[in-house]
Amino acid sequence: MSPRKRALFNISFVGMIVGLPLLTWYFAISFVHYDAALAWPDVAFWSHIQPPSVASVGFYVLWVAFQALLAVWLPGRTVEGAPLPDGRRLDYRLNGLLALALTIGLALAVVGLGGVPAGLLFDEFGALVTTTNLVVLLGCVWLVAFGRRQANAAERRLNLLEAYTVGACRNPRIGRFDLKFFCESRPSMILWVLVDVSLAAKQLELHGSVSNAMILVCFFQILYVADYFCFEDAILTTWDIKHENFGFMLGWGCLVWIPFAYSLQPLYLVAHPEPLPWWGAGGVLLLNLLGFTIFRSSNLQKHRFSSDPMEPIWGEKPEFIQTQHGNLLLTSGWWGISRHSNYLGDWLMGLSWSLTCGFGRLLPYFYPFYFAILLIHREWRDGKHCAKKYGADWSRYTAKVRWRIIPGIY
C-alpha cells in the first residue's frame, strides 16, 4: 500500500473511532428526547448524553459474563470453521439457539418475579449506549496487546492505530474461546432481542397496550435473530469470520451498533402507539415474509450446494461453473438470478421494520438507507475478492449472472 493511501486509511480510522460512538449517541438522544427529529446537534443536544449508571454498568458486566458462561458451558455441536490461510481449521461450539432460549426464559422469570422492571433497558438506553461504547473503546486497547501475541508476520506490521481499528489478529482466542465468534452473536444479537422486548414492555406500561406495529417489528426482529442462531454454522462461512480481523470496527459494530441501532424502530414506537391500519399491517407482514423467504432460501441454497452439489434446486439438477481454484460457483436458483439475492431479501426485511413506523419521521428509515450502502459496498468488496480468487472463471460467472443484487435494476 502506498504511504498516501495508508495515511488516508489512518485518517478514516480516527474518523470512525470518534464518529461512530457520536452517531449512536445522536440516535439515542434524538429518539428519546427529540421524538426522532433530525435535530441540529448543538450544545443543548449533546447535554443529553448520559454517563454510565450503576445499573447500566452492573447489567452489562453481568450480561457479558453470563453470555460467556452460556457459550462455554451449554452443550452444542462442535464444528470446524473454514480453512485459514495457513491451512488450519479452528473449531467452534454451536449452542447459540439454546443460549437465546435460556436467556429469554431467564429474563422473563426475573421480570416476572419482580427482580427488575420490564422497561429497564428503555430506562437505561442512554446510559447503556455510553457504557457499551466505553467498553468497546477501552476493550480494544487490551485487544491490541492481547491480539499481537497471536498475530502473524503481516499482522505484526500493522501500526497501533491500524491494529486497534481493524484488529491485531484475525481470531483472538483465550484457549478455545473465540472472542470474535462470541462477540459477533451472543452479547450483541441476544441483547438486541432483550432491548426490543423491553421497549414493547415500556409501550405497554406507558399506554396500557402494545400496538400492532410494535408486535410486528418485534416479531420480525426476533425472527431474524432466531433464524441467525438456527443456522449458526452458516456464520462460519461469512466474510467477517473468514476474512476480517477482530478489532474496533467489528467489535463496535457487533456490541454497540447491533443492539442499539437495530432497535431504533421499536424505540420510536414506544412513544407512537397508534395502530397501523389492517392493510398497512398486512402489507408490511407480506413484505417481511417475502424478504425472509428470499434471504433464507438463497443462503440455504448456497450452503447446501457447498456440501452436496447434486442436491436439486427448485426441482432441478443444479448448474454451476467449475473453477480452476477447485470451488464450484452455483448458477441455479437464486444464484442464477443475481449474484446476491440474499442481500436483496435481507434489505427487504429491513425496509419492513422501518415501515412499521409509518411516514411521520425520516430517522426510523435510517436502517434501510444505511443497510443499502453497506450491502452495495459489501457486494463490491466480495466481487473484487472473488475476481482475484477465481480470475477468468469469475468473469464467466459474472457474464452468466449479470445482475449484482436486484435483477433487472442493479
Where does this chain bind ligand NDP (CB under 6 A)? 238-239, 295, 299, 302, 327, 329-330, 335, 340, 342-343, 346, 378, 382, 385-386, 389
Do 333 and 313 touch, CB atoms closer than 8 A?
yes
Nearer to ligand NDP, 335 or 365 (CB): 335
CA dist 93 → 71, 150, 271, 294 (Å): 8, 21, 40, 28
Nearer to ligand NDP, 143 or 330 (CB): 330
CB of 25 to ligand NDP, least distance (A): 20
CB of 109 to ligand NDP, least distance (A): 29
The three grid cell numbers given for residue 298, joined into one nine-digit string: 438463497
Nearer to ligand NDP, 59 or 334 (CB): 334
Nearer to ligand NDP, 150 or 306 (CB): 306
Q: What single string gives the DSSP state of each residue in 266-315?
A: HHHHHT--PPPPHHHHHHHHHHHHHHHHHHHHHHHHHHHHHH-TTS-BTT
CB of 254 to ligand NDP, least distance (A): 9
Closest by Cα among 273, 99, 130, 284 to 194: 99
Query: Which residues, at least 6 apart from 294, have a Cβ–Cβ distance to it below 8 Å?
Result: 334, 341, 342, 344, 345, 348
Helix/strand/coil for 174: strand
CB of 237 to ligand NDP, least distance (A): 7
CB of 352 to ligand NDP, least distance (A): 14
Closest by Cα among 346, 249, 230 to 295: 346
The Cα–Cα gap between 16 and 52 comes to 22
Nearer to ligand NDP, 13 or 292 (CB): 292
Nearer to ligand NDP, 49 or 387 (CB): 387
The Cα–Cα gap between 335 and 318 comes to 10
CB of 145 to ligand NDP, least distance (A): 28
Nearer to ligand NDP, 53 or 237 (CB): 237
CB of 253 to ligand NDP, least distance (A): 8
H or E segment to which residue 33 belongs: helix 3-33
The Cα–Cα gap between 234 and 304 comes to 10
Closest by Cα among 262, 260, 267, 265 to 131: 260
Query: Which residues, at least 6 apart from 162, have a Cβ–Cβ distance to it below 8 Å?
Result: 9, 10, 13
The Cα–Cα gap between 398 and 169 comes to 32
Do 155 and 149 touch, CB atoms closer than 8 A?
no
Nearer to ligand NDP, 60 or 371 (CB): 371
Nearer to ligand NDP, 211 or 342 (CB): 342
Query: Which residues, at least 6 apart from 248, have a Cβ–Cβ distance to it below 8 Å?
Result: 16, 17, 136, 137, 140, 164, 165, 166, 167
CB of 300 to ligand NDP, least distance (A): 10
CB of 183 to ligand NDP, least distance (A): 14
Nearer to ligand NDP, 260 or 295 (CB): 295
CB of 329 to ligand NDP, least distance (A): 4
Angle at 169 between CA 165 and CA 175, to 5 degrees: 125
